[in-house]
Amino acid sequence: MLQNKLPVIAIAVFTLFITYLHYSSVGAGHELHNIYRELYYIPVVLGALAYGLRGAALSYLLVFALYLPYVIMTWPGTLINETNRLLPLLLQGLFAFLAGYLVDREKTQRTQLEKSRHLAEIGRIATVIVHDLKNPLIAIFGFAKRIRDGKGKTDTAVRVIIDSAEKMQKIVNGVLDFAGPIQLELKEDDIRDIVKRGVDSCRMKAEQRGVVLSIDLPPAPVNMSVDSFHLERALVNLITNAIEASAGEQSVTVNITSKNKLIIIKIKDQGSGMDRVTLEKIFIPFYTKKSGGSGLGMPIAKKVIEGHQGKIQVSSKPGQGTELTIELPS
């Protein structure tokens, strides 16, 4: 609230202080008052920058209202001399309106640009979602028609329909998880148990791909206030990515350490690694190089970790694997 009022306070303080300089030095040299008059540009510029044309106009009117009595008090008696004093003030008014107009125009253009980017992003996301939903939807329709027409094996068709529906549900849930705010229910828990459950959830996938999945946990409990459900889901996403990036007989390791009141979870693989471009885009929603991926796993995991006031870092090079480092406050 105070931050919103700071420009108003600054404008009022500068205007009153400069006016005080005028009134407290009546009879001083014209050169000194010329300097004071030029200082009125400060509140006028502040008004324009903070509130656009309206702010510039109100700031100038305040300056004019406070300065006019001084002009009357010190009337020199000649129109030429008085014009020399009023002309700079009128120029300040023109400057105020021009500056306010330009600021308003820039804000309008920026708002329109943000709306255009937002609409473009919505369009891109919608295109990706439709594309990802199209293939499983085609499979469902195709095999449903086979069942209706009595063609092919029913059990195979049913399995494909269920798999496709599960994939669609996964895509929809991912979009909902990313679009909505993460509602965390924080409770005291042992991070070791959460990490172990996440690793156990991924063991079947690791065995299917011939990847060696190992875990290294400290002997003592590592307790913190955490939403175990969301954090476990985030870890499963990250570990799954590491497994899918690895070839047979390569290893994926997960370990926990503590340092400087931080709980550090590392997930390291020996897979193909990522180039610089991929590394820069890894947390962009819907960006993926995997044919079956939604591109939401990493952004959702990042959102969950940041919701715990933590951070995630990724280190990777092509052909040298990837290391994820999660830091959580203990």
Torsion over CA: 182, 184, 190, 194 (sign): negative
pLDDT at 47 over 90: no
* Average pLDDT of every residue of the chain: 82
Res. 323 pLDDT band, cuts 50 70 90: very high
Res. 79 pLDDT band, cuts 50 70 90: low
Residues above pLDDT 70, as percent of the chain: 84
Give pLDDT, residue 324: 92
Averaged over 191-213, what is the pLDDT?
90
CA distance 139 to 95: 66
Measured in whole angstroms, how far is the alpha carbon of residue 34 from the centre of its chain? 48
Long-range contacts of 273-276 (CB under 8 A, 24+ apart): 273/245, 273/316, 273/317, 273/318, 273/319, 273/320, 273/321, 273/322, 274/314, 274/316, 274/317, 274/318, 274/322, 275/318
CA distance 76 to 17: 24
Q: Looking at the structure, do residues 82 and 129 belong to the same domain, yes or no?
A: yes
Q: Looking at the structure, do residues 212 and 271 belong to the same domain, yes or no?
A: yes
Q: Looking at the structure, do residues 176 and 212 belong to the same domain, yes or no?
A: no
CA distance 249 to 252: 10
Domain count, the chain: 2
Averaged over 88-106, what is the pLDDT?
85
DSSP string of 243-283? HHT--TT-EEEEEEEEETTEEEEEEEE-S----HHHHHHTT
Q: Looking at the structure, do residues 143 and 243 belong to the same domain, yes or no?
A: no
Q: Looking at the structure, do residues 318 and 193 belong to the same domain, yes or no?
A: yes
Give pLDDT, residue 178: 66
Res. 191 pLDDT band, cuts 50 70 90: very high
Question: Which one of 161, 180, 199 terminates a domain?
Answer: 180
Cα angle: 310, vertex 312, 313; to 5 degrees = 145
Give pLDDT, residue 1: 52
Give pLDDT, residue 6: 84
Question: Which one of 180, 202, 229 terminates a domain?
Answer: 180
pLDDT at 267 over 90: yes
Highest mean pLDDT among 33-37, 88-92, 252-256: 252-256
Q: Looking at the structure, do residues 11 and 39 belong to the same domain, yes or no?
A: yes
**What is the CATH number for 283?**
3.30.565.10
What are the backbone dihedrals phi and psi of residue 27, each rounded to the nearest 5 degrees, phi first? 95, -10
Q: Looking at the structure, do residues 121 and 199 belong to the same domain, yes or no?
A: no
Averaged over 33-60, what is the pLDDT?
85
Q: Looking at the structure, do residues 198 and 139 belong to the same domain, yes or no?
A: no
Residues above pLDDT 90, as percent of the chain: 16
Q: Looking at the structure, do residues 153 and 248 belong to the same domain, yes or no?
A: no
pLDDT at 49 over 80: yes
Which domain, by its residues, includes 149?
Answer: 1-180
Query: Cα-Cα-Cα-Cα dihedral of 145, 149, 155, 156, to 10°?
Result: -50
Averaged over 265-275, what is the pLDDT?
90
Q: Looking at the structure, do residues 21 and 147 belong to the same domain, yes or no?
A: yes
Question: Which one of 180, 203, 228 terminates a domain?
Answer: 180
Averaged over 120-135, what is the pLDDT?
68
Give pLDDT, residue 37: 80
DSSP-derived letter for residue 220 is: S
pLDDT at 43 over 80: yes
Q: Looking at the structure, do residues 294 and 234 belong to the same domain, yes or no?
A: yes
Averaged over 273-278, what is the pLDDT?
85
Give pLDDT, residue 290: 64
Supply 175's token pair. 């979009």
Res. 48 pLDDT band, cuts 50 70 90: confident
pLDDT at 300 over 60: yes
pLDDT at 2 over 60: no
Q: Looking at the structure, do residues 41 and 172 belong to the same domain, yes or no?
A: yes
